[in-house]
Structure formats: C-alpha cells, structure tokens
Amino acid sequence: MPSSAAEDEPERPDPDESADAGANGKRRRRKPKKQRSFWVELPILIVVALALAFVFQQFLARVYTIPSGSMETTLHGCTGCYGDKVLVDKITYDFTDPEPGDVVVFKGPEPWVENEVATERSGNAVVRFFQNIGSVFGLAPPDERDFVKRIIATGGQTVQCCDAQNRVVVDGKALDEPYIHWENPDNQRQEPFDPVTVPDGYVWVMGDNRNDSCDSRCQGGGGVRGAVPVDNIIGKARIIVLPPSRWGGVSDHNPQAAAQPAALGMSAPAWQEGVPLGFGVVAAWPAVWGGRRLGSKVREAVERKR
C-alpha cells in the first residue's frame, strides 16, 4: 500500500532540543527561571504605590489634617481631641463654582498670612524629608499656610452681621446656620460687622465655631481684605477619613437656601429688653393711681348730693 508524503518525510529535530543537546549527544534540561525574592520586589512595590499616591494627592484629592478648632464641631481640631483628617476633592471646582455652604481648604491670601508664622521644619535633612512626605500624605501638618472654612457669601453679594435675632445677613436675608457651634452656651452672640460687598472672583468665609474663628471678619483687618480669591481654593472637603469613629461626609448645608428677610439691628440682652416694659409700668402708675383717686372723689360728691 503506497504511503503518503507526510509519512515518508523524516521527523525534523526541534531546534531548541538540538540546542540543548550536549557534545556527547545527551539532552540537557532547561533551568527553570529564577523567581525574584519577595524582599527584592517589596521596594519596587512601595515605590510604585508612593508614586501613584503622590499623583492622586497632587491632582485629584488630598488628605489634610485639621490643625485648629475653628470648624468645631463639623471638623475636630481642638487641643486635646483627635485632629480630623479630611479628604479634599481638588477637581470639583474645575467644573463648578464654589457655593455657599461648601467647606473649603484654601491657601491664605497675602492679608491672611502677613502676620502668620509658618510651620517649622526640622534642621535635620532626614527628619525634614519625612516631615515633607507626611505633609503630602496628610500625616503631618503642611508647611504652607492653608486654612479650612465655610463659604458664607460669593462674589457680588453683600454680607453683614447681625439682624435682630443675631443672624448673619446676606443680601438682606438672614442665613439658616444649624452648624454653628457655641463654646459658651450662655453667650450665643456673634460679633457684629458692617456690610461688605464681596468682590467678583472672591468668597467670604467663616468658621463654624463662630466665636473662636479668625476668618474673613478679622483677617487683614476685616472688610474686603478678608475676602478670599477663588483661585486660592485648593478644593472642597468631602469625607472625614480619620479617626474611624468619625467616618462620614462633611456637611455642605447651604445657609442661603432657606434664608428669610431680616430685620436689621442687634437685639438687646434679656435684661435690656425688659427695660421699656419697666419704664411703661412706672410711667403708667401715676395715671392709674390718679384715676382711682379721682373716681373715689366723684363717688363721694355724688353721695353728698343725694
């Protein structure tokens, strides 16, 4: 029976097998590829992770440590309590404008930082390096002069304090601010300030811990100099990431959404509010007493005529 060409063709040796054959004709086994040691790969993984985290925090979002108590109790930063670490969204304001109620982190403009002292860094180069790394990743206070406050008014709006009920007023309407924290419950009064029209491209910011916050009311001497350029805003505070007990979103309640027409003029303390009533009673007493005396005289005269 005739055989096919494929069957007649001799089997060709595999080139790799030929290469593996030794001088004596014996085939040598291939050496398995040596895997990298875990300790060799670990530094590479760490460098890649740090690079990704650096890019993320530089361009997308960054963790910031709250260093003071000016935003109590929305954000903790007081002495003796755990300073909150918040994730700040850096890209939101590339697409939208800052709005009243947003809690923002911003670089202090010149009037804000002219009397500020920058965070000191160690003279030791190694320690300073780790301090700078910790600052980038939110593990140490930043050396730049950054602030966190809540936006109260935006460019073109007029803000002042206060109305008869001790509320901040924007464009003639009293704000709804349930987030305000009073360190002294017996003194729930805000420092008054004259009307300020916020320049275009600026925002007016204040702390939630209203009586323990140096903000647009006092920075730069107050007034227009206290306003913050929109270009200085780094981003919007979104999430409290540490401590775990305070995980959650950061309130961006808009105080202007439920604003009501305001009756301007500071209300008086309770003891003063009673003064007009007291004067009224004192002034009315002679008339009441005289009326009663006159009535009794008239009755006596009528009785005598009878």
The residues assigned a catalytic role are 70, 149
Residue for token pair 């349930």: 178
Stated length of the chain: 306
What angle, 0 to 180 degrees and rounded to 10, lies between the N-to-C axes of helices 38-59 and 125-136? Answer: 60
210 — phi, psi (to 5°)? -60, -35
Distance of CA 223 to the CA centre of its chain: 22
15 — phi, psi (to 5°)? -60, -40
DSSP state of 245: G
Spell 240-260 as b/e; 16+ CB within 10 A means b. bbbeeeeeeebebbebbeebe
Residue for token pair 């505070």: 237
Q: Which of 99, 67, 100, 101 is nearest to 86 (CA)?
A: 67
Task: Determine contact, residues 150/207, Cβ cutoff 8 Å.
Answer: yes
